[in-house]
Structure 1
């Protein structure tokens, strides 16, 4: 009888200890924070970086090109979220009306150690921010985040001037070897050295007329001399 009571007491003590340990573990384990998506403050969009009320390049990389815009977002304490931004996804419209969705993972980053948590995204200069949302841990109901400042660039301020391409070697086509055809063997002139060919055409006609005139004059002189000789006889 005493033995049964002892076993019963031990069983009750074991159950009580197990229940107490379970309660301690449950109380000591932190609850897993839920990840939620919150929107940007509707009063911040739509806007270009240049038109936004606060222009500053704080919290952005120092080596930004002159032809990009920097956008910095802040997670205010009023959002009630735990920790930093997990990510920010923003929608932009380019000058031609095209829509582009950019993220801090691919097009920016998370800024830590600067008071309220901040994040940034880099875009080509001149784009318009039309909407944005952020992933955060355990935010308060109705929480929102803000665009705190923007760093405007100048579209096309850093155009890459193409270098003048030098003429490719050999662009001037040289004459092909042997393009000048040599005279075929046997085509040399067979006229003996020093011989003079008669002039043809108009110069020859003038020569013949002159010769005829001289001949006629000579004949006249010859006849006149014969007459004088006959008279002397």
Structure 2
């Protein structure tokens, strides 16, 4: 009787522990918020890498481009609703998958005309699926989209050390010198021809003066001679 009682107590304790554990697990799971619904991404948007998506880098939507990280931007077309959260699953090259919940580290939900969500992930990850909790009651066919991405930009490479140097500024030796500045002497003009006879006004003045003096002396002697003849 006593052993049976101990067994019943043990079974009851185990059952109680199981019930408490189940209650704890139920409380740990996120409860759906009233007035929200869960929707999926447009299946035509996945799978895709950032480089394969339409490109736009917006400082208010994750920024970029970054050297080794990609930016994915999601859009909720219904302007009357807002994202509450977005859960995106990425395929990591040669390293399984990763699931990221937005908002969180390197991710945010903003309103820019409509509700948008962005996330920054390492370069080369592939978006394979995504769901979102949005405000409002369920609506058939309601989806969100991958609006655009900002793919990583490779860092600029340094120019090779052996690149050709600038061309020398000095002219090469042995180049022809400038032509002499002195122009060849021109053929002598008429004014430069040698003068062989008497010419010019300056040369005629002495001769003219001598002629006048001779004429005056001749007239004087002629008058004197006539007076002598008259008086004699």
Q: Calculate the TM-score normalised by the size of structure 2.
A: 0.48
Whose radius of gyration is greater, 1 or 2?
A: 2
